Amino acid sequence: MRPTDFSKSLTDFLTCYLPGEKGASKNTIASYKDTFILFLAFMKDEKGILADKVMLKHVNKEIVVDFLDWIEEKRHCCAATRNVRLAALHSFFQYLQYQSPENLLEWQRILSIPVKKTEKPSISYLSLEGIRLLLEQPDCSTRNGRRDLALLSLMYDSGARVQEIIDLTPSMVRLDVPCTVKLIGKGNKSRVVPLLDVQVKFLKTYMVEQKLLEPHANLYPLFSNSRKEKLTRAGVNYILEKYAKQARLKNPTLIPEKLSCHCLRHSKAMHLLQSGVNLVYIRDILGHTSVQVTEVYARTDSRQKREAIEKAYTDVTPKDTPSWLVNDDLLEWLKSFSK
């Protein structure tokens, strides 16, 4: 059976263009792949076209809109998930503009499909007291406890994303002064983040114990499970939730019911901002492409807004008690109006 033009284009897009030319991460490619698995299921179940029969001529703006509506209505996904699927489709049809220009008009019609507006959730972050309480929970008398303390404190101190922590190797950590960690973020962009001495103490203890400072361990996972395999996203979330539950029992006001790994990243950003660190430096530490992305923390920080207002405040309220309040005769005369 000969492959269709759709199958050939999609295979080249996922296996050559995204990793080779665009430098997309494994997570991005996996997400895009999931989108097209859903799209092929939609074409089979809703349009009666099997995966090996789908051709580019079958795909148009109306089909894509039907697919996006199917995601929301039949699969009960939220608008944010719909937008993620649309982003994958947009990327594919941007690629097709140059690979199959004879259908350029239809590809541009698909690219004109707008993302849906979604309610932006407020940023959730822990106070400094909350971070201290969380980091007090690992049992440092056990091997796993020492690993977990090094993991959580590094995640907070560096403001790293979960995947960035998972992908770390010992070669990416510098323990000599100045101590730094090299993080590989979205789009395979790297950044070097300075580490504090307190964090380095926990990390060095852990690395010495695990023999991760030996030359042969340079490319081992920095954080691994009992099978010496690097942790998964679910594994890191499990570790965080384990200690969040313990901390919540001690002081529920400091630890919210829903606590994600990204919350530690938000917490670091907010604490830097509250300490007066310039947004440009916070942008570089977090690996944002633009300072405009980082500005969301400034908009969220109500404490800093209040302090700014207090500094600019000029007291315009009268200092003395109004004369009519201390003049008994005038006060009685005013009260008589209500009788």
Do 279 and 152 lie in one domain? The reply is: yes
Please, which pLDDT band fits residue 51 given cuts at 50, 70 and 90? very high
Do 229 and 291 lie in one domain? The reply is: yes
Residue 241's contacts (CB-CB under 8 Å, 6 or more residues apart) are 259
Q: What average pLDDT does the chain have?
A: 86
Tell me the pLDDT tens digit for each residue of 57-72.
999 999 999 999 999 9
Overall domain count for the chain: 2
Does residue 175 have a pLDDT over 70?
yes
DSSP string, 21-54: IS---HHHHHHHHHHHHHHHHHHHHHH---GGG-
Do 214 and 70 lie in one domain? The reply is: no
The whole-number pLDDT of residue 24 equals 84
| 17-31, 266-280, 282-296, 317-331: range with lowest mean pLDDT | 317-331
CA distance 69 to 61: 12
- Structure tokens belonging to residue 308: 């700014």
Do 165 and 91 lie in one domain? The reply is: no
| 199-208, 220-229, 281-290: range with lowest mean pLDDT | 281-290
The four Cα atoms 183, 185, 190, 193 give a dihedral, to 10 degrees, of -40
Q: What is the mean pLDDT of residues 14-25?
A: 90
Do 159 and 256 lie in one domain? The reply is: yes
Task: Answer whether residue 321 is part of any domain.
Answer: no
Please report, for the domain that includes residue 40, its CATH number: 1.10.150
- For residue 175, the SS3 value is coil
- By the 8 A CB rule, do 171 and 218 touch? yes
Task: Answer whether residue 316 is part of any domain.
Answer: no
Expressed as residue numbers, the domain containing 33 is 5-111
- Between CA 300 and CA 312, with CA 306 as vertex, the angle to 5 degrees is 130
Tell me which residue of 15, 31, 9 sits closest to 95, measured CA to CA: 9
- Structure tokens belonging to residue 332: 């009685």
Please, which pLDDT band fits residue 278 given cuts at 50, 70 and 90? confident
CA distance 91 to 298: 31
Tell me the pLDDT tens digit for each residue of 235-247.
999 999 999 999 9
Please, which pLDDT band fits residue 264 given cuts at 50, 70 and 90? very high
Residue type, 179: C
Does residue 20 have a pLDDT over 60?
yes
Strands 173-174 vs 180-184: parallel, antiparallel or unpaired: antiparallel
149, with CB counted inside 10 A (0-12, 13-18, 19+), is buried
Three-state SS for 273-319 is: HHCCCCHHHHHHHHCCCCHHHHHHHHHHCHHHHHHHHHHHCCCCCCC
Q: What is the mean pLDDT of residues 308-329?
A: 56
Does residue 320 have a pLDDT over 90?
no
Q: What is the C-alpha radius of gyration for the chain, rounded to an integer number of angstroms?
A: 28
Total residues found in the chain within this entry: 339
Task: Answer whether residue 332 is part of any domain.
Answer: no
- Structure tokens belonging to residue 304: 């800093």
Do 188 and 256 lie in one domain? The reply is: yes
Do 228 and 153 lie in one domain? The reply is: yes
Q: Which strands form 180-184's sheet, in the order they lie side by side?
A: 173-174, 180-184, 190-194
Task: Answer whether residue 23 is part of any domain.
Answer: yes
The whole-number pLDDT of residue 300 equals 63
Task: Answer whether residue 314 is part of any domain.
Answer: no
68, with CB counted inside 10 A (0-12, 13-18, 19+), is buried
Query: Which of 111, 143, 158 is the last residue in one of the domains?
Result: 111
CA distance 68 to 77: 10
Do 278 and 133 lie in one domain? The reply is: yes
The whole-number pLDDT of residue 14 equals 96
Do 95 and 135 lie in one domain? The reply is: no
Do 160 and 292 lie in one domain? The reply is: yes
Residue type, 146: R
Task: Answer whether residue 334 is part of any domain.
Answer: no
Residue type, 142: T
The whole-number pLDDT of residue 104 equals 95
Q: What is the mean pLDDT of residues 155-170?
A: 93
Task: Answer whether residue 323 is part of any domain.
Answer: no
Share of the chain above pLDDT 90, in %: 60
Tell me the pLDDT tens digit for each residue of 104-161.
999 999 999 999 987 766 678 899 999 999 999 999 999 999 999 999 999 999 999 9
- For residue 66, the SS3 value is helix
Do 139 and 239 lie in one domain? The reply is: yes
Task: Answer whether residue 166 is part of any domain.
Answer: yes
CA distance 223 to 217: 12
Do 139 and 214 lie in one domain? The reply is: yes
Please report, for the domain that includes residue 140, its CATH number: 1.10.443.10
Does residue 173 have a pLDDT over 70?
yes
The four Cα atoms 28, 30, 31, 35 give a dihedral, to 10 degrees, of 130
